[in-house]
Amino acid sequence: MFEQLQLEPVLQRSDLVPASITELLQAWQGTVPVSEVLVTPIDPEFAGSAEFCEKYQVPGELGANCVVVEAVRGESRFLAACLVPISTRADLNKTVRKLLDVRRVSFAPLEEVLQVTGMEYGGITPVGLPNTFCILIDARVAALDRLIIGGGYRKSKLLVPGKFLAELPHAQVVEGLGV
């Protein structure tokens, strides 16, 4: 199924991911072995989910998108990541707002996201995000044996077990996050 991809363990190809991903994996304490977290180089022109799936013949149901949101409650403000199946969008106004217990949720300013994460637009991933982030993961994503997500840079994608994502620091698995 992933025949067109040159998959290798991330720790053997740290040139394809931001340093924060490598650091997370080097310190990993989860039950999923780090050797199961794979990376592949891709053509950056095909970093978008639909384009990637078509070019590399990966079924869409085996992919997820990560969006970063800004959550506001009174004077406090923080960033959170939402990982949902590519065929859905994150339910910001109901599910995310309620889970984060905030008054307002909106897409975070792109420049801030790129600066804070050290990642590139089109490659944002929940793996290696700063510890200040809350990570919400759709239950359908967490249930997958393996799925493709952003690699932090447009030039790469990660192949990970859903269980690995559920074990990320500050991660919460949520039913119906993507609608």
- Which residue segments constitute the domains of the chain, with CATH numbers given? 8-174 (3.90.960.10)
d(CA 118, CA 129): 9
pLDDT at site 3: 80
pTM over 0.85: yes
pLDDT at site 83: 98
pLDDT at site 128: 98
Sign for the pseudo-dihedral over CA of 17, 21, 25, 27: positive
pLDDT at site 2: 80
Which residues of the chain are modeled with pLDDT < 70?
none
pLDDT at site 77: 95
The residue written with tokens 């008054």 in the block is 103
Is 135:172 a contact under the CB 8 Å cutoff?
yes
